[in-house]
Amino acid sequence: MDIIFLSEVKVETHLGVPEWERLTAQTIILDIEIAMPHSSSCQTDEIDDTIDYGVVVSRIRQTLSERSFKLVEALAEHVCQLIMQEFGAPWVKIKVAKPGILPGLKALGVVIERRKSTNPT
């Protein structure tokens, strides 16, 4: 399996359990691994044969600027589903970190992994 990784992607979003915390955008950090649906780009050297990571990052930034989440878990699930549905990735792993949210804590967050289910016909 070929995997694209995006490390320490900084994104502005509205996130937090208390409503007041979601009033102002805050920076979160994403580490994302995306499985390629096929490996033909290794032979063709063509952007059309891969998942364009620039487009992925732009789409994530767009959707997270438009949405509000209470939990990092829900945000991570949203991003995973977006990547699988819109970009055809068969598997996604994402780490969402919310930095500096508590005193003496560098960051908190979650890591989730999702795989497209294959339905036998």
Task: Please write down the long-range contacts of 23-27, taking CB distance under 8 Å and 24 or more positions apart.
Answer: 25/65, 26/98, 27/99
What is the pLDDT, as a whole number, of residue 88? 92
44 domain-assigned: yes
CB 107 within 8 A of CB 98: yes
Q: How many structural domains are present in the chain?
A: 1
Whether the pLDDT of residue 121 is over 80: the answer is no
Most confident of 21-25, 50-54, 65-69, 101-105: 65-69
Q: In this predicted structure, which of 54-58, 67-71, 99-103 has the lowest mean pLDDT?
A: 99-103
What is the pLDDT, as a whole number, of residue 40? 80
Which of the following is catalytic: 95, 98, 106, 116? 98
73 domain-assigned: yes
Query: Where residue 14 sits, what CATH number does that domain have?
Result: 3.30.1130.10
Q: What is the pTM of this model?
A: 0.88
Q: How many CB atoms lie within 10 A of CB 39?
A: 12
- 50-75 in b/e burial notation, b at 16+ Cβ within 10 A? bbebeebbebbbebbeeeebeebeeb
What is the pLDDT, as a whole number, of residue 46? 76
Domain ranges, residue 23: 3-115
Per the annotation, the verdict on 98 as an active-site residue is yes
What is the pLDDT, as a whole number, of residue 120? 54
